[in-house]
Chains A and B, each alone.
Chain A
Amino acid sequence: MTVRLVAHHISLRLPIFLQSDRSARSWLAMLAKAAIERPRREFRTILDDVHFSAQEGDRIGIVGRNGAGKSTLLRVLAGAYQPTEGWLESQGTRQALLNISLGFNNEATLKENIYLRGTAMGLRASQLVDLVEPVLDFSELHDKANHRLKTLSSGQRMRLGFAIATAVQHDIMVMDEWIGAGDALFISKAKERMASRVNGAKIVVLASHNFQLMRDVCTKGLLMVGGRVEFFGDINSTLIEYDKLLKCGGPPQTAA
């Protein structure tokens, strides 16, 4: 079976809730208004005619400034959001690693949380047992296995989340930038793991602001501006385009 991931002219309009902007004369009036005002519901076009295709072996890096629609596009690719127009063609098993702290239970132990995340990723009971050891190994949290999750620092949590999310190999991986809170040693380890996972996965889509990471991992690049695909090509020219955009300040980022 060939693995494919194709976005066919995808547009997405999302409802957003706005509080109206009338200025209050005093802080008291402001508090009172906050209590009675109803939010308005408006539709915004977040993605506009996004079209690209990924074949086996493609590792696509999505770049763009904050609010350009990167995360939203990843959610569409992960299958969470259904496009308003256009459609997504996806063949192969798919795993999204968008939210590193997804579905943790703070009162449960690390081990129990590994099971929990494993089941959420659709693993069967028999596969779960084999998941615990490698995850604890990789996250270097063996001595904490039976501690409650809320005793972990945010960096340790990130390590755990990353270890679980990358413990199983899938055909298509959709990833948001998550290597933020780890210490330097872990980051290099995570990069290594990712490089190996990425080599196993047939298609990878990754959003990141880290140029070096992109150059190391990706083969193609996709530059998003205001919900549109501004540039789609090999990774180096994409990064050059993005760099140009950053230098000249870029057009306004919020989609109309």
Chain B
Amino acid sequence: MWKDFLASLKEPEFWAYSCWLDIVTKYRRSRLGLLWLLIPPLIYVLGVGFYFSKLQGIPPLDFIPHLGLGYLLFRLLMTVIVESCSILTNNSSFILDGHGRLTDFVMRVVAKGIFYFVVAIPVLLVALLLSPKFQVIGLATVLPATLLLLINAVWIGMAVALLGARFPDIHELMASVFIFGFILTPILWSASAAPMGTIHGTFMRINPLFHLIELVRAPLLGEPMETMSYVYLAVFTVAGWITTSILYRRYARFVPLWV
């Protein structure tokens, strides 16, 4: 699998181009065109952010970047993982024609997720710059933290892609899990509302999305980061990649039979 991933990164033409084509053709006939990439984050981050801050009695300028970062990172992970579940089935015609490098298809989804995220960054920047909670020093860790998040998104995507090729149930399951995941992750609320030792606190800490998102977000907003999160993420990343590479080695060759 490592070899395939490296080869995918070295020859990005197929997955990068097909992903780009998916995006531009999707919006080609709409009046606003690619602006539609920017409008949903605007509505979510500013609109929902403002409304929810009022509901909770938090100053909007504090809350909007918290929600914005949380939501956009969550959306990135959700796009990659949920769409990976059916990506191999959707590309069966390529696979049956002998395009056996399955990592290409996962990279296609990852590229799409990253692209949507990057387009929304200006919204985040505005929200951060206006916020009194913004910590400039946090920018130092943003890139490595996002990279770690992506590395994890990739192995999860690859794993669910293999499982989803065999069991269509995985796609349905993931779609449901992520609806719950949105509530379970401190996006609309703050992690301090779920202290350690409580039932909801335990649930939140089991949830990998929480740790991945906090890793990127907490330093930027000067929120506390638990030591446990670092340990969790280290174990999660290593164990995840090992599991996925075993799955890949064992099952990748059966994928053409399943799709």
Q: Collect the chain A residues with CB atoms within 8 Å of residue B99's CB.
A: 120
Residue among B95, B98, B99, B254 facing the most chain A CB atoms (10 A cut-off): B98
Residue in chain B with minimal CB distance to A105: B21
- In the docked arrangement, what's the CA distance between A92 and B112, Å? 34
Q: Is B18 in contact with A116, judged by CB distance below 8 angstroms?
A: yes
- Give which listed residue, A82, A102, A115, A122, contacts B17 with CB less than 8 A: A115
Tell whether, in the assembled complex, residue B93 and residue A124 are in contact, meaning their CB atoms are under 8 Å apart: no
> How many residue pairs bridge A and B at CB < 8 Å?
71
- B11 near A124 (CB under 8 angstroms)? yes
Instruction: Decide yes or no whether B200 CB sits under 8 A from chain A.
Output: no
Roughly how many angstroms separate A80 CA and B99 CA in the complex, as a whole number? 7
Interchain CB contact under 8 A, B11 and A122: yes
A122: chain B residues at CB < 8 Å are: 11, 14
Q: Given A14-B257, A112-B21, A120-B18, answer yes or no on A103-B98 (Cβ-Cβ < 8 Å).
A: no
Residues of B within 8 A of A82 (CB): 253-254, 256
A80 in contact with B96 (CB, 8 Å): yes
Whether a CB of chain A sits under 8 angstroms from the CB of B4 is no
Chain A nearest Cβ from B34, distance in angstroms? 14
Q: Within the assembled complex, what's the spacing in Å between the Cα atoms of A222 and B93?
A: 26
**Interface presence of B240 (CB below 8 A):** no
Question: Does A78 contact B98, Cβ atoms closer than 8 Å?
Answer: yes
Q: Which residue of B lies closest to A149 (CB)?
A: B25
Per the bound structure, the CA–CA distance linking A91 and B94 in Å amounts to 21
Max chain A C-beta neighbours (<10 A), residue from B22, B91, B94, B254: B94
- Cα distance, A212 to B13, chains bound together (Å): 39
- Asked if residues B28 and A107 are in contact (CB atoms below 8 Å), the reply is yes
Question: Which positions 229-259 of chain B face chain A at CB distance < 8 Å?
Answer: 253-254, 256-257
Contacting pair B13 A81 (CB below 8 A):
no
Find chain A residues with CB under 8 A from B257 CB: 14-15, 81
User: Is B97 within 8 A of A105, CB to CB?
Assistant: no
* Nearest opposing residue in chain B for A77, CB measure: B98
Asked whether A79 lies within 8 Å of B98 as measured between CB atoms, the reply is yes
Separation of A107 and B257 alpha carbons in the complex (Å): 29
Identify which of residues 76-122 in chain A touch chain B, using a CB-to-CB cut-off of 8 Å: 78-82, 94, 96-99, 101-103, 105, 107-108, 112, 115-116, 119-120, 122
Question: Which chain B positions have C-beta within 8 A of A128?
Answer: 13
Chain A residues near B11 (CB-CB < 8 A): 122, 124
Assess the B96–A120 pair: CB atoms within 8 A: no
Interface assignment of B54: CB less than 8 Å from any CB of chain A: no
Distance of A99 Cα from B256 Cα, bound (Å) = 14
Kindly provide the distance from the CB of B235 to the nearest chain A CB, expressed in whole angstroms: 33
Q: How far is the CA of A154 from the CA of B10 in the complex (A)?
A: 35
Picked from A80, A112, A115, the residue with its CB within 8 Å of the CB of B98 is: A80
Q: Tell me the residues in window 12-32 of chain B with beta carbons closer than 8 Å to chain A beta carbons.
A: 13-14, 17-18, 21-22, 24-26, 28-29
* Distance between A29 CB and nearest chain B CB, rounded to angstroms: 26
Contact A102 B93 (CB under 8 A): yes
Is residue B201 contacting chain A, with contact meaning CB distance below 8 A? no
A105-B22, A105-B25, A119-B18 given as contacts; is B96 within 8 A of A99 (CB)?
yes
Query: Once the chains are docked, how many angstroms separate the CA of A16 from the CA of B173?
Result: 24
Q: Which of A115-169 contact B (CB under 8 A)?
A: 115-116, 119-120, 122-125, 128
- Choice from B25, B91, B96 contacting A98 with Cβ under 8 Å: B96
Task: Assess whether B25 is in contact with A108, with CB atoms less than 8 Å apart.
Answer: yes
**What chain B residues lie within 8 Å of A9 (beta carbons)?**
none
Q: How far in angstroms is the closest Cβ of chain A from B26?
A: 7
A sample of 29 cross-chain residue pairs with beta-carbon separation below 8 angstroms, ordered by A number, consists of A14-B257, A75-B96, A75-B256, A78-B97, A79-B98, A79-B100, A80-B97, A80-B98, A80-B256, A96-B97, A99-B93, A102-B94, A102-B97, A105-B21, A105-B22, A107-B26, A107-B29, A112-B21, A112-B25, A115-B21, A116-B21, A119-B13, A119-B17, A119-B18, A120-B94, A122-B11, A124-B11, A124-B13, A125-B13
User: What 9 A-B pairs are tightest by C-beta distance, nearest first?
Assistant: A107-B25, A78-B98, A119-B14, A119-B13, A79-B98, A82-B253, A80-B256, A96-B98, A102-B93
